Each structure stands twice: as structure tokens, then as C-alpha cells.
Amino acid sequence: MSLHGNYDSENIFAKILRGEIPCVKVYEDAATLAFMDVFPQSHGHTLVIPKGVEARNFLEMPTKQISHYMESVQKVALAVERALGPDGIVITQFNGEAAGQTVFHLHFHIIPRWTDKQLGDHANGQMADMEELQAIAAEIQAEL
């Protein structure tokens, strides 16, 4: 998918937002949803998406809504840090297929890193155990 084009309301995150498919929720407010990545690149890999917008990527996000969205990204990242105590955290976001984007609803990745643990492949890993993800989400929620 190109960097430019129309928002597809059948993308997987739109379906999650409509409650048509489940997610392991970490945080939600009026404009943001955060949930566990089901193909995590590391322990605690969390995604933060905006609600109520048809933005395929960061470039399409209404400017006035960016600051709240970024506050939510930081809020969740801080909770991830407190809950899991990583050595570092990668916060990343891809725009367009050529940049590595695979789901075309804007999202930031929060990926905790440990110096002695290798990073899994992007969007190409093993599906996580749901009970394990629920337990990690509960740990993060406790720090929100």
C-alpha cells in the first residue's frame, strides 16, 4: 500500500475499534486505544492507536489531535517502563508499505528492550499466548 490513498475501514485496527475482533486492552480514553501486539517483537510490545479518525498514518493525523495522541503514547510508555523495567524502549511508527507499515490505521509501537534479549522480527513473529498477553497488560495497567 502506498503512502497515499484512501482509508480502508475494513483494516484490522478499525475492526478492533468497532469491537468486531478482540484485543488485549491496556488503556483507553475518548481518543486513544492501547493494546498488546499479538505478534510481539519483545515482551510487552504495545500498540497505541487514535480513535475517531480515519488516519492511515502519522501524516494524515489531524494536527490538532496529535498532541493528545502523543500524550497517550507517552503515558503508556511510562507505564510499560514502570511495569516491566526494560533497559530501553523503542517507540516507532511506519508510514507506507515501503517504510515497513503493514496495518493502515495509524499506530505507534512501544517496544521494550533488554540488553541480553534479541528483538523479534517486525510483523513476522509468532502469535503470542493470549493468557500471557493478558497478564502483561494487567501489569502495565497497574502502572497507568
In the set 17, 27, 101, 133, which binds ligand AMP (CB under 6 A)?
101
In the set 66, 82, 102, 126, which binds ligand AMP (CB under 6 A)?
102
Q: Which of 45, 105, 107, 109 is catalytic?
A: 107
Can residue 32 be called a binding residue for ligand AMP (CB under 6 A)?
no
Structural contact between residues 35 and 16, judged by C-beta atoms closer than 8 angstroms: yes
Can residue 39 be called a binding residue for ligand AMP (CB under 6 A)?
yes
Distance CA 124, CA 111 (A): 15
Structural contact between residues 41 and 89, judged by C-beta atoms closer than 8 angstroms: no
Q: How far is the CB of 113 from ligand AMP (least distance, A)?
A: 15
In angstroms, what CA-CA distances link 20 with 8, 91, 95? 15, 27, 25
Question: Can you say how many angstroms the Cα of residue 100 is from the centroid of all Cα atoms in its chain?
Answer: 14
Known active-site residue 105: no
Can residue 37 be called a binding residue for ligand AMP (CB under 6 A)?
yes
Q: Rg (Cα) of the chain, in Å, rounded? A: 14
**Catalytic sites, residue numbers:** 107
Interaction site with ligand AMP (CB under 6 A): 12, 23, 37-39, 47, 94, 100-103, 123
